[in-house]
Amino acid sequence: MIPVRGYAGAKVAVLGLGRSGLSAARALRAGHAEVLAWDDSETARDTAVAEGFAIVDLARAGAFDGVAALIVSPGIPHLYPVPNRVIAAAQEAGVPVDNDIGLFFRSLATDDWDGFDVTPKVIAVTGSNGKSTTSALIHHVLTEAGRAAQLAGNIGRGVLDIDPPEDSGVVVLELSSYQTDLARALTPDVAVFTNLSPDHLDRHGGLGGYFAAKRRLFAEGGPDRAVIGVDEAEGRYLAGQMAEGPNDDRVIRISVDRKLSGFGWSVFARKGFLSEYRHGRQVGSIDLREVKGLPGSHNHQNACAAYAACRTLGLAPRVIEAGFHSYAGLPHRSQRVAEKDGVIFVNDSKATNVDSALKALLAFDNIRWICGGLEKDGGLGGLAPGLAHVRRAYVIGREAAQFAIGLGAVDTEVCTTMSEAVARAVRDAEPGDVVLLAPAAASFDQYDNFEKRGEDFMAQVHAQLGLGA
């Protein structure tokens, strides 16, 4: 645990008692703060009471009298589409609002660090797509190289639940826009921006607000090194803001669209080969085509970001390459779950928006595509470049028929349920085909989350193929 510093003897309110909220409450108590906890869920309140926390209705009049700060869980809106009533009351009372990420950065360093030979580092990863894979890949490479590393944030453990890092230790954080938007302290040593595509627009008041939330990690965090994907206009803008000029090697530009050789430091992938350039010279390369855990251009972008981050810590290219080859991939992200009679089955349930689903479609040929669910704003037009790879689409979800219409000329079958979609895909599949779950939609019309959807896909595949659980 990372005990929270700076609130000893003070009253601190915690709103939302899920994983991050309870973690923050425990860490605040460990730092000798007086915690006032609240959640609209009675079950969540009972859990907090069982751990000895005082429950206070933060919506009642006078609840913020004498309170030093309000700590908010990431799922609770603080500005758009409308502020939560408790947050609005805190703001009206002039009480600072923060989250567990802000508490983490203000509390991580301790006096013990003065005795370390090598100061611990924090690598923070954000972006629309690929941040989970990039974070996990960085952590895996570091661990395989013998570095003490911990994975936390939006993946792995809660940020305040990790162990205090040891001499030369590394903390790898995946940070969502919900987390970067509100944190009052953001001070990573290395910050990574993968890419940007429209998502969570209601929560951020549009695309500009969404990008602004990501940008805070860099503009307000002031990292020693910034690894920035420049395949979108926003990334190029951010790199330009962070760098003093093209030769400033504090900014490492990454791309899977073009060769980047005219900068101080860059990493790019073309036709399956990753290249590292410094001041016009190639200094490293990796053949990614045989890295089974990182299929497709989108994963090559993740590889470029992870490679660059690891290079900032002094790892040699061949050490990083070895880590790539032993990386098995994350569940529900281009996860190969079965192969039978020349047909491969891939679970990419995390492809919850059009951009991430397009990347999955472009990674394979001869696709039997299972898609559909709760369609997000913007329509399905962005999928067009990948539809030539699709032999047939099997559409699930409560609005499956409407979703199928949005796919235009693609050969579709309206299946509604996962079991029917998998059964029909298995029926039709031929050697060389890939049965791909890449929904291009949220899961909430049929499942609690994308993980449950992916688990159902895997269960249905195993059942259809007679592979057992």
What is the fold of 103-325? UDP-N-acetylmuramoyl-L-alanine:D-glutamate ligase (3.40.1190)
Q: Is 127 annotated as a binding residue?
A: yes
Give the burial class of 114: count Cβ atoms within 10 A of its Cβ; 0-12 exposed, 13-18 middle, 19 or more buried.
exposed
Q: What is the DSSP string of 62-91?
A: TTTTTEEEEEE-TTS-SSSS---HHHHHHH
**Residue ranges of E strands in 99-157:** 121-126, 149-153
CA–CA separation, 329 and 56 (whole Å): 43
Residue 365 DSSP class: S
Q: Which two three-digit tokens encode residue 155?
A: 């993946």
Give the burial class of 340: count Cβ atoms within 10 A of its Cβ; 0-12 exposed, 13-18 middle, 19 or more buried.
middle
**For the chain, domain boundaries:** 11-98, 103-325, 335-464
- At 149 the three-state DSSP class reads strand
- Dihedrals φ, ψ of 202, to 5°? -65, -35
**Residue ranges of E strands in 119-278:** 121-126, 149-153, 170-174, 190-193, 225-229, 251-255, 265-270, 273-278
Q: Is 293 annotated as a binding residue?
A: no
CA–CA separation, 445 and 396 (whole Å): 10
For position 156, what pLDDT does the model report? 77
- At 164 the three-state DSSP class reads coil
The interaxial angle of helices 42-50 and 19-30, nearest 10 deg, is: 30
**Spatial contact of 201 and 210, defined as CB atoms under 8 Å apart:** yes
Residue 366 DSSP class: S
- What are 372-410's pLDDT values in tens digits? 999 987 889 999 999 999 999 999 999 999 999 999 999
| Residue 11, strand partner residues | 34, 67
**Residue ranges of E strands in 397-445:** 412-416, 434-437
CA–CA separation, 128 and 384 (whole Å): 20
Q: Is 406 annotated as a binding residue?
A: no
Which residue do the tokens 């949220």 mark?
442
CA–CA separation, 435 and 392 (whole Å): 10
**Spatial contact of 171 and 149, defined as CB atoms under 8 Å apart:** yes
Q: Is 129 annotated as a binding residue?
A: yes
User: In the chain, which stretches have pLDDT less than 50?
Assistant: none
Name the pairing type of β-strands 335-340 and 343-347.
Answer: antiparallel
Residue 93 amino acid letter: A
**Residue 1 Cα distances to 26, 175, 360, angstroms:** 9, 19, 37
Q: Which two three-digit tokens encode residue 351?
A: 């492809």
CA–CA separation, 296 and 269 (whole Å): 11
Q: Is 128 annotated as a binding residue?
A: yes
For position 468, what pLDDT does the model report? 65
Residue 234 amino acid letter: E
Residue 442 DSSP class: B
Q: Is 132 annotated as a binding residue?
A: yes
In CATH, 335-464 is 3.40.50.10140? no
For position 467, what pLDDT does the model report? 84
Q: Residue 431, preceding bond cis, omega within 30 degrees?
A: no
Q: Is 31 annotated as a binding residue?
A: no
Sign of CA dihedral 231, 235, 241, 242: negative
For position 296, what pLDDT does the model report? 85
- Give, rounded to a whole angstrom, the gap between the first and last alpha carbons of the chain: 36
Q: The domain at 11-98 falls in which architecture?
A: 3-Layer(aba) Sandwich (3.40)
